[in-house]
Amino acid sequence: MLNLGHAPVLIVVVLLLAAFIIPLLGKRQGVVNAVFLGAGAAAFIMSLSMTMRVLAEGTLHYPVGGWAAPYGIVVLVDVFAAYSSLVLAMVALIISWFAVYGPREVRHNGVYFTLILLLTAAMQGMVMAGDLFNLFVFIEISSLAAIAIIAIKGTKESVEASFRYLVLSALGSGGVLFSIALIFMITGHLNMEYIRTTLIVTAEQYPLNLLTSIGLMVVGFGVKAALFPMHVWLPDAHSNAPTASSALLSGLVVKVYIIALMRIAYLALGLEIFALLPIRHLFLALSTGALMVGSVFAMVQDNAKRLLAFSTVTQVGYIFLGFGLFSPRAIEGGVLHILNHAVMKSLLFLAAGVIIHQTGIKKLSQFNGLGRKMPLTFAAFTVGAMSMVGIPGTAGFISKLYIALGALDADMLVFAVLILVSSLLNAAYYFPIIISAFFGKDSEKEAVEPRLAMLAPILVLALMVFFFGLFPSLMVPLVQQTALLFVR
Amino acid sequence: MVIIERLYMNIYYLVAVILFIIGFHTMLTHNNLLKKIMGMNIMDTSLFLFFVAIGYIHGGQAPILREGVMQYVNPVPSALILTGIVISVSFTAFALALVVLLHKQYGTLDADKIIALRSKRHA
């Protein structure tokens, strides 16, 4: 059996290696597909075994190259990192399957697969990084790859949207790098755990440095995670990308930055920061805005993918709300929502992509009657939509329930009401689509179900929505231990 | 006078922050796509200056062990910035490639005109 003690770096290395091998294989599409999916599957298996190990043995410290901290670089895998890595590997593998067998939207599949692998490798590296500069390098790799998988579609809209994403993303990176510099200035360390021990002494001496640094960091990550009101780039970027990219970007990429920010918060800065500074209240205020504005804008969209993109703005708000409420159950809900939203938003984007591919219809107002012609695809879409609204039995219900209960724990009833209102708003824009698709008058368009290989990832995701909705206990040990990292 | 003296002592930080703001401002407010990229580069450069200034000690020598040298400059920020420069160059190259593509498709480098052209296509 392979020694999986090196799993933390092996996951990143395998994905990166595959990313560099694929361009060398040239036009042999069968081999390219095999390498692409093989790397994704290998990452998933290693991530799974790593998660088991973290659950059994506790936090893993992996010194890269055998050089111990503070001189070497440390990969730090705690339960949160293991959980995030597992979610990333799982959802990315399913989306990769769709990228291979789904509708072909890019000219060079090989290049596209390379970019997806670079993106997943960078995201895996980001959630496991124990060192701020290492984290920054992975942020930049993932930003570049994320922009490239939008621009690769080559249409006028996608290139324009990706350039706007690039400008704002570069601004965010600038903010993050500046904040890292300010922290390095007062601590002399880049290793997150060493920073925390040093900050206990130096934070009082240089409060201004720390304050500026945290401000820049929240803005930097906020831009990349599309936290309201810094979400302006998201709707165009996510709706004009190829379908598999949209699913990756909305399902995983925006959340990785939230994970990175929260990891810095509890690993490097220490949780006292939450008590001393009004970061929580900032999160609460901004996520309230996101919940309302995202839904209201989603309601007026007629383009299917644009509606889903605006819905992502709302869902990012939910995750921030969970962290902002800061009671154990709210954090559990926020962390669970990272998984649940990744599954259901990928499902919705892939289903929408298949519908658009099979019928050529992008406008929601013309979806009438299509549900009877493509029952499986629309059934999957319905499952995703129900989960978004939070119907009991689906995954979305569990995380929303936890966040709402967390709001009650924190004595902030108003946010439980807010979640209810936002769920109603979600229903107000998802249900008309489903009703008109199944019960509307017949459309003249011919539409048939896609072939099974294309449909398979969508059905798997739909089953996962039910699975995580009916058996949430599977993820509970990971999620509860993650919440303990925040609320000791 | 005390303020001026303190500013002078922190002149590298001061210049870095001013450059950062110039870059930030250029990126957000200029309509020309090339100027946006220039702004991005100014911002990145200011951060490199800031990082290297953290490690700089007045009168310090290059960190090579020699006799008679007491003070060394901290080499860690300089090493980090090498990576930072590589990242900045790749971002710039990629952004320029996108600008070439945009100019081919829209025939202009003005961000406002591009948005106007795009919404006209939608209508």
Q: Which string of DSSP letters, residue by residue, matches B39-105?
A: HHHHHHHHHHHHHHHHH--TT-B-S---TT---B--HHHHHHHHHHHHHHHHHHHHHHHHHHHHHHH
Closest by Cβ to B20, choosing from A147, A160, A178: A178
In angstroms, the CA A106 to CA A332 distance is: 38
- State the pLDDT at residue A65: 82
Residue with tokens 């060192």: A131
Q: Does residue B15 belong to the interface with chain A, where contact is any CB pair within 8 Å?
A: no
Handedness of CA A178, A486, A294, A141 (dihedral sign): positive
Best of B49, B87, B106 to disrupt the A interface (most A CBs within 10 Å) is B87
Q: Does residue B42 belong to the interface with chain A, where contact is any CB pair within 8 Å?
A: no
Q: Which tokens go with B89?
A: 């160059």
Radius of gyration of chain B (CA): 20
What is residue A190's DSSP assignment?
A: -
In angstroms, the CA B106 to CA B123 distance is: 16
Instruction: Return the number of other C-beta atoms located less than 10 Å from residue A26's C-beta.
Output: 10
- CB pair distance less than 8 Å for B106 and A156: yes
Q: Does residue B48 belong to the interface with chain A, where contact is any CB pair within 8 Å?
A: no
**Which of these, A212, A165, A209, A170, lies nearest to A186 by C-alpha position?**
A209
In angstroms, the CA A33 to CA A22 distance is: 9
Q: What's the full length of chain A, in residues?
A: 488
Q: Which tokens go with A349?
A: 């984007």
Best of B21, B35, B52, B94 to disrupt the A interface (most A CBs within 10 Å) is B94
Q: Which chain A residues contact residue B83 at CB under 8 A?
A: 133, 137
Q: Does residue B33 belong to the interface with chain A, where contact is any CB pair within 8 Å?
A: yes
The domain in which residue B91 lies consists of 2-122
**Which of these, A320, A252, A264, A223, lies nearest to A135 by C-alpha position?**
A264
Tell me which residues of chain B, numbers 90 to 119, contact chain A at a CB-CB cutoff of 8 Å.
90-91, 94-95, 98-99, 101-102, 105-106, 114-115, 118
Sequence-distant (≥ 6) Cβ neighbours of residue A41 within 8 angstroms: A93
Count Cα neighbours of A191 within 13 Å in the Cβ-side half-sphere: 18
Q: Does residue B10 belong to the interface with chain A, where contact is any CB pair within 8 Å?
A: no
Best of A152, A162, A163, A240 to disrupt the B interface (most B CBs within 10 Å) is A163
- State the pLDDT at residue A26: 81
In angstroms, the CA B66 to CA A356 distance is: 69
- CB pair distance less than 8 Å for A137 and B83: yes
Phi-psi region of B107 (alpha: psi -120 to 50; beta: other; left: phi over 0): left
In angstroms, the CA A305 to CA A457 distance is: 18
Count Cα neighbours of A481 within 13 Å in the Cβ-side half-sphere: 17
Give A481 to chain B, closest Cα distance, Å: 34
Biggest CA–CA distance in chain A, Å, is 72
Q: Which tokens go with A389?
A: 């609204």
- State the pLDDT at residue A275: 77
Q: Which amino acid belongs to residue B77? A: P
- State the pLDDT at residue B63: 81
In angstroms, the CA A339 to CA A85 distance is: 11
Closest by Cβ to B98, choosing from A151, A157, A185: A151
Q: Which residues of chain B have pLDDT under 70?
A: 121-123
In angstroms, the CA B42 to CA B44 distance is: 5
CATH number at residue B20: 1.10.287.3510
Q: Which tokens go with A339?
A: 């998984």
Q: Which chain B residues contact residue A173 at CB under 8 A?
A: 91
- Nearest-Cα residue of chain A relative to residue B112: A160
Phi-psi region of A29 (alpha: psi -120 to 50; beta: other; left: phi over 0): alpha
Number of domains in chain B: 1
Q: Which chain A residues contact residue B20 at CB under 8 A?
A: 174, 178
**Which of these, A451, A325, A465, lies nearest to A376 by C-alpha position?**
A451
Q: Which amino acid belongs to residue A67? A: W
Q: Which chain A residues contact residue B12 at CB under 8 A?
A: none
- State the pLDDT at residue B122: 58
The answer to whether A225 and A255 are in contact (CB under 8 A) is: yes
User: What pTM was computed for the model?
Assistant: 0.94
Collapsing DSSP to helix, strand or coil, A75 comes out as strand
Q: Give the CA distances from residue B93 to residues A155, A163, B20, in Å, rounded to whole numbers and listed in that order.
A: 20, 12, 20
Give A156 to chain B, closest Cα distance, Å: 6
**Which of these, A238, A223, A121, A234, lies nearest to A173 by C-alpha position?**
A223
A and B: number of Cβ contacts within 8 A: 74
- Mean pLDDT per 10-residue run, chain A (488 residues)? 71 94 89 94 94 89 83 89 95 95 86 95 94 93 95 91 93 94 91 90 87 93 92 92 94 94 90 82 93 91 92 94 91 93 95 92 87 91 94 92 93 92 92 90 80 92 93 86 84
- State the pLDDT at residue A3: 56
- CB pair distance less than 8 Å for A174 and B102: no
Residue with tokens 């658009």: A356
Angle at A483 between CA A481 and CA A486, to 5 degrees: 120
How close are the terminal C-alpha atoms of chain A, in Å?
38
Biggest CA–CA distance in chain B, Å, is 75
**Which of these, A405, A381, A236, A215, lies nearest to A309 by C-alpha position?**
A236
Complex-level ipTM beyond the 0.90 threshold: yes
